[in-house]
């Protein structure tokens, strides 16, 4: 008997029939003697519907009220799943984030989990119940409802698995695993059977939407074995078959994994690039620019400072497109005047394309192969950022699909190794 955490995304919970399928699958695990905690997302479309209502009322709704609003989606789907389980004879009980409680900080719409008290969950599991815990949400020290940001249900699931030392965390989704890149862009993309935690971390942070970045961080920190697999298979397929499907995120680097120099290509249009022209090139100017941005809780991704020309420099950086408006305001009203910038240029027509591979550690020249491939397609590279196991570039977003396809071919990702 193992303790298993299941997570189901919005598409998997998207209709009554699908919720019933989820219940059938969970019932199968329960019948096999496992203790199961299920973390569902809101029914697909629900979060967008709610946020759409909010946008009709306000251009920038109060984040606290946004969380109050958005958290209802998972509460409803969790209750429905508990009912669906009961209808199939499986005793079940659902809990919201505050009921568990899942304690978070107070950063509304992007809160971080601080602790999870599993007392209630364990009592129910020991009583033979399946426990349904709302994804995406928690509660701060003052009792306000918080949410973890888009895709936060992955994080909830892995965090519950970590807190309870679950044997596995199964992330059921509408794709059957993690691919070398998005198959909608490159039809030859292949599903990876295993992927190292570090590669998954890079893939997630670089725009692969399969797993939310913070869930991967949690998995890494607490060594939670995570498997990404399909919720669209027959719910009654044998457990053994289900257990070997999808993509396993592993913590062991075996020989096979070393062989793949580049494992995957990630990309993202969720980028906004800002350039402050003719900034006086004095010590501390980078901090003067980025300090207020960080203070506003906006994450800066890539940074580029050009060579100084006549005592001034051009300073560029990228942020998530969601933060573009706030960043623009900060730069225009506060940072620009303070540092004496000549001009502030804003470009949303950019994207980020990245190659990721744990094998890059031991192989030279991978980045230059990437640059050559892009140059052969006539794609200009605007910014570059590298780490031990990835190289990312910012390019014009009209070239995104072209770049991804070219890189997928260059690194022979369509071929099983």
Binding site for a copy of itself (CB under 8 A): 16, 19-20, 50, 53-54, 56-58, 61-62, 64-66, 68-69, 71-73, 75-76, 78-80, 82-84, 86-87, 93-94, 96, 98-99, 143-145
Q: Which is nearer to a copy of itself, 65 or 401 (CB)?
A: 65
Provide, rounded to whole angstroms, the least separation between the CB of residue 58 and a copy of itself.
4
Q: Alpha-carbon distance 362 to 96, whole Å?
A: 46
Whether the bond into 251 is cis, omega within 30 of 0: no
Tokens 């998972």 locate to 74
Q: DSSP letter string over 365-376?
A: SHHHHHHHHHHH
Residue 329 C-beta: closest distance to a copy of itself, Å: 18
User: Minimum CB separation from a copy of itself for residue 72, in Å?
Assistant: 4
What is the 3-state composition of the chain as percent helix, strand, coil, each rounded to the nearest 5? 40, 25, 35
In the complex with a copy of itself, which residue's Cβ is closer, 68 or 290? 68
Inter-residue contact 395 to 350 (CB < 8 Å)? yes
Least Cα distance to 108 among 55, 169, 149 occurs for 149
- Closest to a copy of itself by CB, 65 vs 253, is 65
Phi, psi dihedrals of residue 339, rounded to the nearest 5°: -95, -5
Distance CA 263, CA 152 (A): 25
Task: For strands 130-133 and 35-40, give the pairing.
Answer: parallel
Q: Is the dihedral of CA 313, 292, 322, 403 positive or negative?
A: positive
Q: Where is 19: in which H helix or E strand?
A: helix 16-31
Give least dist CB 21 to a copy of itself, A. 12
Give least dist CB 138 to a copy of itself, A: 14
CB of 53 to a copy of itself, least distance (A): 6
Residue 79 or 185: which CB sits closer to a copy of itself?
79
> Hunting for tokens 């014009």 — which residue is that?
396
For residues 135 and 246, which CB has a smaller minimum distance to a copy of itself in the complex?
135
> Which is closer to a copy of itself, CB of 82 or CB of 166?
82
User: Please, what is the angle between helix 16-31 and helix 63-87, to 10°?
Assistant: 60
| Nearer of residues 120 and 269 to a copy of itself, judged by Cβ | 120
Q: Tell the smallest beta-carbon distance from residue 25 to a copy of itself (Å).
A: 15
């Amino acid at each position: 008997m193992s303790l298993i955490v299941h997570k189901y995304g919005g598409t998997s919970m998207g209709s009554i029939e699908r919720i019933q399928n989820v219940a059938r699958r969970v019932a199968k695990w329960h019948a096999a003697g496992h203790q199961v905690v299920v973390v569902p997302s809101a029914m697909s479309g629900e979060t967008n519907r709610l946020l759409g209502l909010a946008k009709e009322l306000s251009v920038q709704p109060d984040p606290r009220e946004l969380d109050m609003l958005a958290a209802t989606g998972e509460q409803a789907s969790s209750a429905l799943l508990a009912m669906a389980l009961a209808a199939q004879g499986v005793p079940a009980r659902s809990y919201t984030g505050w009921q568990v409680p899942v304690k978070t900080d107070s950063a509304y719409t992007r809160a971080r989990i601080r602790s999870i008290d599993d007392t209630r969950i364990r009592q129910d599991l020991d009583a033979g119940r399946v426990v349904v815990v709302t994804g995406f949400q928690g509660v701060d020290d003052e009792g306000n409802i918080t949410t973890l940001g888009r895709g936060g249900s992955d994080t909830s699931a892995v965090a519950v698995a970590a807190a309870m030392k679950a044997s596995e965390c199964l992330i059921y989704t509408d794709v059957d695993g993690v691919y070398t890149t998005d198959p909608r862009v490159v039809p030859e993309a292949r599903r990876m059977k295993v992927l190292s935690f570090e590669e998954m971390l890079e893939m997630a942070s670089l725009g692969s939407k399969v797993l939310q970045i913070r869930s991967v961080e949690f998995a890494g920190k607490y060594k939670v074995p995570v498997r990404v697999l399909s919720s669209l298979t027959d719910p009654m397929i044998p457990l053994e078959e289900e257990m070997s499907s999808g993509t396993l995120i592993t913590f062991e680097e075996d020989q096979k994994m070393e062989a793949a120099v580049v494992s995957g290509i990630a990309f993202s249009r969720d980028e906004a690039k800002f350039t402050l022209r003719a900034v006086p090139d004095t010590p501390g100017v980078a901090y003067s620019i980025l300090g207020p941005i960080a203070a506003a809780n906006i994450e800066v991704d890539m940074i580029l400072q050009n060579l100084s020309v006549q005592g001034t420099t051009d300073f560029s950086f990228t942020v998530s497109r969601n933060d573009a408006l706030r960043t623009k305001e900060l730069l225009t009203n506060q940072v620009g005047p303070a540092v004496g910038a000549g001009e502030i240029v804003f470009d949303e027509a950019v994207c980020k394309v990245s190659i990721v591979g744990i094998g890059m550690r031991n192989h030279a020249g991978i980045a230059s192969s990437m640059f050559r491939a892009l140059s052969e397609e006539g794609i200009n590279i605007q910014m570059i950022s590298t780490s031990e196991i990835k190289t990312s570039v910012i390019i014009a977003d009209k070239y995104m699909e072209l770049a991804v396809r070219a890189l997928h071919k260059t690194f022979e990702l369509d071929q099983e190794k």
